Structure 1
């Protein structure tokens, strides 16, 4: 069984999914972290895209949820490295590539076969798990999302200005909602949640 929460950056989907996983003692799948991992791999490899695509299926990308979503690449923990601003700058572009999406989607589908998961992303309810037992789509006002993300980054020791964060969210929103492959959109059978006026506990 899988429950999915889709939505744009900063809408609260990841925090909500993690909290539910903790509360119900079920598995959590952070699809965004997997796309960040592939983006990190591409930036580190310094390969051309054709060469990178050829090598993608030979890497060992593993993950687990144990109080936090931990990502390992070829045996090396990269949980913190994938949150680097350079990765954030490029992840939407890399995530829009068909071969990358095929790789990540196959990995996610294989992973959730034998356990109970809650997952968050942008196209899980429409493209990856269209038959998910329960679907939600979270939104929030742009300014609220930027404030949340700015606070999260500062908490993690990444110093960026609020204006930089809001510009980055606008850029990612445009890329995610207009890409040809599996764009960000609400599934017809998803429950819409506007978290603008909610604090985390609510």
Structure 2
């Protein structure tokens, strides 16, 4: 069973999906983290597309959710923190727009959810990856709120962060994600819209968790 939470960068979808999984004791799948691993591989390949695609085909990306953290590994090395740098953020939309990358990551996710109950967050899960998902949400928030959330997230992890740079990065990612030819960011017709701009985290968590809980118990 799969529940999807889509939305633009910084809308709160990842932290909410993780908290829903923790509250309901189900599995969490962070699709954005998987694209970030591919982006890290792209950067480590010297941003050479031929070398990157060659390495991507041969690479093993694995992951698991444990103690509120979505751990990701590239060829056996944990890269959970490495994928959250600003350099990765600046290139992730570019890498994620590649048809070969999307096919690779989508295959990983579809294989993972064949067993157990998952809540997953991303940008095109409800439209392209899991169009038949049991329940779909689409989260939005204003730009200022999203930039502040990302800034606080980086500072909490002890990373350097500049609010204006983050805001600019999110604006660019929004444009790229919404206009890409491969699976653009958009709300699925049957997704429930959640605007988190003026909601506390507990409010948005409860709003989604209650509906997921009802679905799980009725299955």
TM-score normalised to structure 2 length: 0.90
| Cα distance between partner residues in 1 of 2:74 and 2:175 | 29
Q: Aligned to 2:113, what secondary structure does the other structure show?
A: helix
Aligned to 2:39: 39
- Give, in angstroms, the shift of residue 57 of structure 1: 2.2
- Give, in angstroms, the shift of residue 60 of structure 1: 1.1
Give the gaps of 5 or more residues in structure 1. none
Q: Aligned to 1:57, what secondary structure does the other structure show?
A: helix
- Give, in angstroms, the shift of residue 161 of structure 1: 1.7
Whether the 8 Å contact between 2:45 and 2:51 is mirrored in structure 1 is no
- Give, in angstroms, the shift of residue 55 of structure 1: 2.9
Moved over 4 A (4+): none
Name whichever of 152-161 and 126-135 sits farther off.
152-161
TM-score normalised to structure 1 length: 0.97
Map Cα deviations across residues 120-167 of structure 1 (whole Å, 9 max, x no partner): 000000000000000000001111111111111111112222111111
Aligned to 1:61: 61
| Cα distance between partner residues in 1 of 2:88 and 2:31 | 15
Whether 1:201 and 2:198 are equivalent positions in the alignment is no
Give the gaps of 5 or more residues in structure 2. 204-219
Q: Aligned to 2:199, what secondary structure does the other structure show?
A: coil
Q: Aligned to 2:114, what secondary structure does the other structure show?
A: helix
Aligned to 1:49: 49
| Cα distance between partner residues in 1 of 2:2 and 2:129 | 11
Aligned to 2:209: none
Name whichever of 140-149 and 129-138 sits farther off.
140-149
Aligned CA distance change for structure 1 residues 166 and 47 (closer, same or farther; 3 Å): closer
Whether the 8 Å contact between 2:40 and 2:83 is mirrored in structure 1 is yes
Aligned to 1:139: 140
Whether the 8 Å contact between 2:178 and 2:185 is mirrored in structure 1 is yes
Aligned CA distance change for structure 1 residues 145 and 47 (closer, same or farther; 3 Å): closer
| Cα distance between partner residues in 2 of 1:64 and 1:144 | 29
| Cα distance between partner residues in 2 of 1:55 and 1:115 | 30
Map Cα deviations across residues 109-128 of structure 1 (whole Å, 9 max, x no partner): 01110111000000000000
| Cα distance between partner residues in 2 of 1:132 and 1:79 | 27
| Cα distance between partner residues in 2 of 1:144 and 1:48 | 35
- Give, in angstroms, the shift of residue 199 of structure 1: 1.2
Map Cα deviations across residues 161-181 of structure 1 (whole Å, 9 max, x no partner): 211111111011000000000
Count of residues paired in the alignment:
202
